[in-house]
Amino acid sequence: MIASIQAFYEGNVQGVGFRYSVKQIAKGFDITGSVRNLCDGRVELLATGEEDEVRAFVEAIGQSELRAHIKKHSEALLAHPHAFRDFEIKHD
């Protein structure tokens, strides 16, 4: 079953290579999506794929060296999956 999630990471998650590291982790999973910095200091992650792959991807982020930068993580399933070709860093 295809699942799409939106997750937010808070803490020291900007200016530390967080987005780049998330993109590197994504290469190991069959998912599409994006990661971007938000104006309020959080990082937003959108990920779409088979539910097990998406869950494993999010878990891998939490178990990586990035965990030292994450103070809070929240996520929600999205009713309408986003259409992405691959996994990208958004700069907006």
CA distance 62 to 84: 23
The residue from 19, 42, 67, 85 that is catalytic is: 19
Residue 67 annotated to the active site: no
Q: Which residues contact 5 (CB under 8 A, 6 or more apart)?
A: 45, 46, 47, 48, 54, 58, 75, 76, 77, 78
The residue from 37, 42, 67, 85 that is catalytic is: 37
Residue 12 annotated to the active site: no
Active site residues: 19, 37
